[in-house]
Amino acid sequence: MINSWILSNNARLVVEEIPHVRSAAIGIYIKVGSRHEPDHLSGVSHFIEHMLFKGSEKRSAREIAESFEGLGGQLNAFTSREYTCVYARTLDENIFKAADIIFDMVFNSAFSAKEFNTEKGVIIEEINMLEDAPDDLIHDLFFQKLWDKHPMGNFILGTTESVLNCSREEAYKFYKSCYIPSNMVIAVAGQVNKLRIRDLVEEYLQKQSFKETELISPQTQGYYPFINLNNKDTEQVQICIGVPGISYFDNDRYTQSIMNSILGGGMSSRLFQTIREEMGLAYSVYSYPSNYSDTGAYTIYIGTGNNKIEKFFEVLYSEIEKFTSKGVNDNELSRTKQLMKSSIYLGLENVMNRMNRIGKSMLMYDKLIPVDEVINNILSVDKEMVQYFSSRLLDRHKFSLAAIGPVDALNKADKEYRKWSQ
């Protein structure tokens, strides 16, 4: 059973009791991410996430780590474009001890000057690691141009320059302005007592001051197809091509999920089977949607050799043209619906997945979307809906290109893209 409350200081709590398991998970979702950052503080949300683990007013960084290991639990966090999440999983008997640690981290980070300066070096190494992984970097470079001159396009990690120039005082002020109860959703799932959890969370929240966040993010602007070529001496050329997508409020998101699964979302997808399995043009090729509160993207990725670029674009164009003009068949549609249904239900056997589902639902939609409603919406998608949606989304004149590789490969990708998109 799932219950939700609006608690002190307008924080939202959602709890799912699962009596047949021996574990529990807790997540604190803070509605702040890289899109909410001023340009001179690019990457500060991710920096704050790191600082939560570097000690509080009553626990050192070592004590936080040892406390969780002593519980046999797992503690982690991540930062995205629109929110940050700190989460933990433990045995059910230890969830209250885990909650005490995680709330202490979130509300009482010490932000010691020594730890702050040390962590700058850690984050810069993380940025360097991304720079050395072109198959990861290419996606950020695509989004950077897709949302050009808008915070949505900024790197979540920030840049070496923005991290070096970030002052402790500015970061701490930003932290205190957004890590407030009214900007949070707390989600708990597992073998728990919902009333005990509610009372515990209420106790922590009552200690915090009541205020509303002042974070503002401008609306994303108009889109124009772009070419973003990045010279790097690599064995493969990394390519992302894509179009603007839909927000997570759009009712077409279920149709999009089915379309993506059939086109490039898995091993049975058309792009994987044709480009990798039949043609041997790549080891890795896939497509994926990215959905946010007011915008989105749909992206196709491939890493391939210099001598295969022309063939890749030829096959890709053929597959997209076939998809948008002829649609999908009954077998593909049925198989995909069954796959998505199974994936959702199998995911519910993990308390972390269940916690994440209810937390994100409350954070994004301000309500719980029942699993059965999601399944029914997926099952109601028909072939005509997929073809109509794909023909509007996958307009080749709207596609943009980002690529990383040596000059010769970039020139080929540029030529083939222009031939294909214009």
Write out pLDDT tens, residues 275-317. Answer: 999 999 999 999 999 999 999 999 999 999 999 999 999 999 9
pLDDT over threshold 80, residue 216: no
Report the phi/psi class of residue 417: left, alpha or beta, with left for phi > 0 and alpha for psi in -120 to 50: alpha
**Intervals of CATH 3.30.830.10 along the chain:** 2-206, 227-421
Catalytic residues: 49
| Cβ contacts of 75 within 8 Å, gap of 6 or more | 64, 65, 68, 87, 88, 98, 101, 102
pLDDT tens-digit profile of 147-187? 998 999 999 999 999 999 999 999 999 999 999 999 999 99
pLDDT over threshold 90, residue 193: yes
Residue 322 and residue 332 in contact, taking contact as beta carbons nearer than 8 Å: no
Q: How many CB atoms lie within 10 A of CB 97?
A: 15
Residue 44 and residue 174 in contact, taking contact as beta carbons nearer than 8 Å: yes
**Homologous superfamily of 227-421 in CATH?**
Metalloenzyme, LuxS/M16 peptidase-like (3.30.830.10)
- Please return the burial class of 283, using the count of CB atoms within 10 Å of its CB with bins 0-12, 13-18 and 19+: exposed
- C-alpha triplet 20, 359, 46: angle, nearest 5°: 125
pLDDT over threshold 90, residue 69: no
| pTM strictly above 0.75 | yes
pLDDT value, residue 221? 78
Q: Does domain 2-206 have CATH number 3.40.190.10?
A: no
Residue 141 and residue 228 in contact, taking contact as beta carbons nearer than 8 Å: yes
Q: Which residue has the higher pLDDT, 206 or 323?
A: 323
pLDDT over threshold 90, residue 208: no
Q: Which helix (H) or strand (E) holds 22?
A: none
Residue 14 and residue 184 in contact, taking contact as beta carbons nearer than 8 Å: no
- Please return the burial class of 412, using the count of CB atoms within 10 Å of its CB with bins 0-12, 13-18 and 19+: buried
